[in-house]
Amino acid sequence: MSERAVLYEAGDRIGLITLNRPDQRNAMTPELLDSFSEAIDEALADRAIRCLVITGKGRCFSAGADLRSSLQRSDLGKPSKDASFAMYEPFLRVLDVEVPVIAAMNGHTVGGGFGLTLLADVRVANLDAKYGANFARLGIHSGLGISYVLPRLVGLAHASELLFTGKLILGADALQIGLATHAVPPEDVLPHSMELARAIAASGPMAVQQMKASIRRGLGWKIREAALEEAGLQAASLDTADAAEGIAAILHKREPEFTGR
């Protein structure tokens, strides 16, 4: 029996969720999403933890949607708002976690995987890895509330450039614009994240959880509502010639030729 697609373990008052499909670049397959939701269930039920760390196994934190397997499935039908939102719902459950969440971004982090890290309270980047929301390069609208959260983290100008170009940035640049809180060599990402988690776990747990809630309440944090709106826009954009061209270009490793249709 193979290992679960997402693992949960805990110790020293810290929970650790690991995306565990390195051969698939921890892409958002149905298996991984279901397993992630189960791991969140375990974290929510674990009243002993005071901080939760999320990381990935292998060279990628997460490559986002598994485009190749999605195109090969015959049961997808026409894209819909409900289907788009349902795909992201397991990752959105991070919002239900009351303790601080650290994204230990061990490797390349793209698309929906990038969106997952934005739901964390603190992000630790790998200096050698690339990060970004490549949706524009696919000809589709962003999802998972990225267009709502990203400007609140890095400002309007940086968010606009990242979203409009779909470019990926290195860990040092992520630190510079405020996307990452720390940027360290690849071998230090998880140890550094765990050290930070221990510092948080040593603080008063009730005060920390209340401050997390206060911070998000003060920002008017309505990520689920934003993600639902994005789901409709993403579904509509998926049903276009540009989306078909963008996805085909990525799969065939060529530049897309968009027509605006």
Q: Each residue of 188-229: pLDDT tens digit?
A: 999 999 999 999 999 999 999 999 999 988 887 789 899 999
Q: Each residue of 70-106: pLDDT tens digit?
A: 544 434 446 678 888 888 999 999 999 999 999 999 9
Distance CA 35, CA 188 (A): 26
Domains of the chain plus CATH, in order, are: 6-188 (3.90.226.10)
Q: Each residue of 157-195: pLDDT tens digit?
A: 999 999 999 999 999 999 999 999 999 999 999 999 999
Cβ-based neighbour number of residue 95 at 10 Å: 16
Q: Each residue of 119-162: pLDDT tens digit?
A: 999 999 999 999 999 999 999 999 999 999 999 999 999 999 99
Provide the whole-model pTM. 0.93
Helix (H, G, I), strand (E, B) or coil at 13: coil
Structure tokens at 146: 């990225």
Distance CA 8, CA 55 (A): 11
